Amino acid sequence: MLTSSSSSPGLVFNTIQILRGLAAILVVVYHLSLGYEKRGQELIMGGLFQHGFAGVDLFFVISGFVIMHTSHRYFSKPTYFGTFLRKRAIRIYPIYWVTLAFIMGGILLLEFITKTPIAYLPTSWSLILSSLLLLPYHPNINGVTWSLSFELYYYLVFGLLIVSRKLWPVVAIVLTLSGLVIISPTLFAGSHRLFFFFFSPYNLEFAAGVLAWWLIQRYKVASSRCFLLLGTALVWLLVNDGPLVSDAGKRTVLYGVSSFLILVSFTGLELDGWFKPSLITRQLMKVGDASFLIYMLHFSFMPFYGKLVTPFEHNMIVQNIAALLFTTVITVVCIYLHTRFEAPLVKKLNLISKSISLKLTNG
């Protein structure tokens, strides 16, 4: 049953990091499976991860939870708005730019060696700027960065409440129109594509994360109910596969709802004494810490993976082992890079930006 919770605003949820790691691994293995599906081959691991793209939906729900957990105390404190956006930008842009440079460098090198075009690269300044800033519908050189545009938009919408709680009607309008896009998409037929970005059903997944935080903050979910929620999430995925109009809408209904249930159950179990620190949980949390790097880097190595396993395309034992090894190596490398590069860089940039902000404030 639901009872009052004593969870504090400063509480750190280890299960959030575990779920982040799970989401990243789901996306990696899904992208590995995608190549087999396109070629009409048998899917690796029996097709278990062919819906691994739902890891992105889990990421969105987690983002809603985390931003609400860390920033709700700053509602109606407009002086914090700049700090909020600066921290979010530092978390995303530097690593994105580094990985973008790495990928573009690799593409140019391969094109130079093979003398054949490998991928489309933006050439006009408008497209380059769009890609650098992760604007809506930017040239998607790295196949996963479309989701970062939605992340940044969510930060802006959430930031309205930091400026003033009185701006909540704007947030409500965004969510209402996002819901209507699912329920009655023909109502907006012919609208500009930016309309479908600003009022995407994905907005409801971020909102679901906020709702999950509110429930966990307000109530204590008993372990038995947490396991019931996990079971409900599984059943929802298995039986609720009816046709919906838009892909984003279908994902929100299927994977957004299930991600919400999973998040509430995992955080509820943690508050009830599960997921205590252990060797296993610590290792899983390391994967979660490196999840952004795993998400950003894995896609660029897919062509190399494809070339390595092509000679064994009819040997599923080798293919499964190769997929497992690839995922493991990418994960271990990204954990190392996070510890040695990403975390220190983000920390340093936050200190520099804070110092500059203080100097500007003090004249």
Helix H or strand E encompassing 219: strand 219-221
CA distance 312 to 166: 60
Structure tokens at 98: 């580094």
CA–CA–CA angle 153, 154, 156 (5° rounding): 65
Angle at alpha carbon of residue 110, lines to 107 and 115, rounded to 5°: 120
Q: Indicate left, alpha or beta for 40 from its phi (over 0: left) and psi (-120 to 50: alpha).
A: left
pLDDT over threshold 80, residue 43: no
Reported as a pLDDT band with limits 50, 70 and 90, residue 273 is confident
Q: Give per-residue burial for 316-333: e unless 16+ CB within 10 Å, then b.
A: beebeebbeebbeebbeb
Report the pLDDT value the prediction gives residue 3, as an integer from 0 to 100: 39
Percent with pLDDT over 90 in the chain: 52
The pLDDT-based confidence of 10 (bands split at 50, 70, 90) is low
Give pLDDT tens digits for 282-339: 999 999 999 999 999 998 888 778 778 877 777 778 888 888 999 999 999 999 999 9
Question: Tokens at residue 274, please?
Answer: 């599960």
Summarised one tens digit per residue, pLDDT across range 53-84 is: 899 999 999 999 999 999 999 999 999 999 99
Interaxial angle between packed helices 14-38 and 302-309, expressed in degrees from 0 to 180 and rounded to the nearest 10 = 50
- Residues of the domain holding 102: 2-361
Domain count across the chain: 1
User: In the structure encoding, which two tokens stand for residue 351, read together?
Assistant: 């200190």
